[in-house]
A and B are shown apart, each in its own frame.
Chain A
Amino acid sequence: MGDVKLEHVTKRYADVTAVDDMNLDIRDGEFVTLVGPSGCGKSTTLETIAGLTIPTEGTITIADREVTNLPPKDRGIAMVFQNIALFPHMDVYDNISFGLRLRDFDKEEIERRVERATEILQIQGMLDRMPEEMSGGQRQRVAIGRAIVREPEVFLMDEPLANLDAKLRVHMRTELQRLHKELDTTIIYVTHDQAEAMTMSDRIAVLNEGQLQQIAAPLTCYNEPANRFVAGFIGSPSMNFLEGELTADGITTDDFAVEFDVAALDGYGPGDDVTLGVRPEDVHLEENADELAHPTTPFPAQNDVIEPMGDEIFVYLIVHDLEGGGQEGAVTERDPDEQVLMSVDPDADVEMDARVQIVFDRSRLHLFDTRTGDAITHGLVQPASGVDQRAQGAESEGDD
């Protein structure tokens, strides 16, 4: 049983609170990734689970046993570090078997476990090599092998791919997924790379300033972010945010309005400041509005910067104060807060400085409280009905 539970875990360093009242319940065999920007407390959280740091408050339970103050060796866990940390004077076999020899395992058992680990990691022919003779990816595999042979209840991984080049990182991502499938052990993984988090995890825990923002399946975090931070952090390129105000008929901003049933929003009404969130792939040119089940009313924008990416084109649009700008190409404002990023197909006909009409996919719009940042609703198809409206929107699309 490799379930891990953190209850009200807090870690303070002098004036800084690195982890603030963290509650996590990780199930046996789950792959959970702690993700967030630098300094958000993800590594400190992992270190409290590992026993490298003792929390100031709270309790940590691993496999139904409280381990808050136990040393790392008594927690039934193994950890893979970012810096790999192989012993340079030991060959691969000795590095992998180090932990077992330290615990006085008999030779036959050590050989059996090392053989199994090297088989899983496909490094069988390298047992007598020294670390300096291996590539970064191979060294990282040895470090993972060192953790595997321990047969722990929980694997902890602290940005193990951060020092690898981009191509190898993508390859190792699939290797780790395969490893998880094969071992079926709980893995708690820390990364600041949201692509790693999205692709490998059963659930991701998004952290900011030491606090847990949301823990959910990757697609839930993407489609139904709990707040504006999660919405902005998950997804690349980031979600567009447009501030506005609720009216009796919907939301209005300086530049456009989206009508929906405001009365259906729980606890919000006309006059409240809200922020509309829309992902770049949910911004469309008016000519493509027919493909959408629930397009908004078109509104004008002007192409500012165009970035061809190969498989798609990113178009930075200026939406603010176009009416006063008059002629095409006359807009000079370049405030990033007043830009909307649109992602279009690579064969789309887009020109720099051209005036266009754009629509949003209503079923993919998000509404946040401007003051608190909390999500109010996801999907603004008529009628609005709370944060789980996405599912209803999807159903009605299916009916169409």
Chain B
Amino acid sequence: MVSTVGVVYVVGVTVLFFFWVYGIYAFARDLRHRYLPAIRAYLEQRRDDAEATRAEEEREEREQQLY
């Protein structure tokens, strides 16, 4: 005999299971499409900035040789 409590329990667990699974899926998706690219872009930007600073310092040092 299926009781009302049982039905509510099964439906509740199913709903919770869905959101739990969706949460894992959404996190994996965000990690792949948002967080990792953002981290990669940040590191690249930092590398480019360092490179630009180094090039600028080198250029400045070379220019000062002409003073």
Chain A residues within CB distance 8 Å of chain B: 50-52, 71-73, 77-79, 81, 85, 98-99, 102, 146-147, 150, 156
The A-contacting residues of B in range 29-67, CB under 8 angstroms, are 59, 62-67
Give complex CA distance A85, B63 in Å. Answer: 10
**Quick check: A78 and B62 within 8 Å, CB to CB?**
no
Q: How many residues on chain B are close to A (CB under 8 Å)?
A: 7
Most A CB atoms within 10 A — which of B59, B63, B64, B66?
A: B66
State in angstroms the CA–CA spacing of A78 and B66 once bound together: 5
**Once the chains are docked, how many angstroms separate the CA of A151 from the CA of B65?**
14
Interface contact A81-B65, CB-CB below 8 Å: no
The reply to whether B66 and A156 form a contact with Cβ atoms under 8 Å apart is yes
Select one of A51, A52, A146, A156 contacting B67, CB under 8 A. A146
Query: What's the minimum C-beta distance from A378 to chain B, rounded to whole angstroms?
Result: 40
CA distance A389 to B62 in the complex (A): 48
Q: Are A78 and B59 in contact (CB under 8 A)?
A: no
Query: Which residues does B use to contact A, with CB under 8 Å?
Result: 59, 62-67
- Contact residues in B for A77 (Cβ distance below 8 Å): 66
Beta-carbon contact of A98 and B66 below 8 Å: no
Which residues on A sit within 8 Å (CB–CB) of B62? 51-52, 71-72
Closest 3 CB pairs of A and B: A73-B65, A79-B66, A72-B65
CA of A71 to CA of B67, assembled, Å? 13
Q: Can you show 24 pairs from A to B with CB atoms below 8 A apart?
A: A50-B66, A51-B62, A51-B65, A51-B66, A52-B59, A52-B62, A52-B63, A52-B66, A72-B62, A72-B65, A72-B66, A77-B66, A78-B66, A78-B67, A79-B66, A85-B67, A98-B64, A98-B67, A99-B67, A102-B64, A102-B67, A147-B66, A147-B67, A156-B66
CA–CA, A51 to B67, complex, Å?
13
A156 to chain B: which residues have CB within 8 Å? 66
Closest to A103 in B: B65
Chain B: minimal CB distance from A71 (Å): 6
Query: In the complex, what's the smallest C-beta–C-beta distance from B49 to chain A, in angstroms?
Result: 20
Q: Is the Cβ of B65 less than 8 Å from the Cβ of A71?
A: yes
In the assembled complex, the Cα of A313 lies from the Cα of B65 at a distance in Å of 49
Complex Cα distance A392/B23, Å?
A: 91
Closest CB of chain A to B67's CB: distance in Å?
A: 5
Chain B residue numbers with a CB within 8 Å of A73 are 65-66
Interchain nearest-CB distance for A321 vs B (Å): 56
How far does the alpha carbon of A78 sit from the alpha carbon of B64 in the complex, in Å? 10
**Least distance between B8 CB and chain A CB atoms (Å):** 66
Min CB distance B61 to A, Å, is: 9
A385-B66 Cα distance, complex, nearest whole Å = 49
Specify which chain A residues have a CB less than 8 angstroms from the CB of B59 in the assembled complex: 52
A338, B65: Cα distance in complex, Å: 52
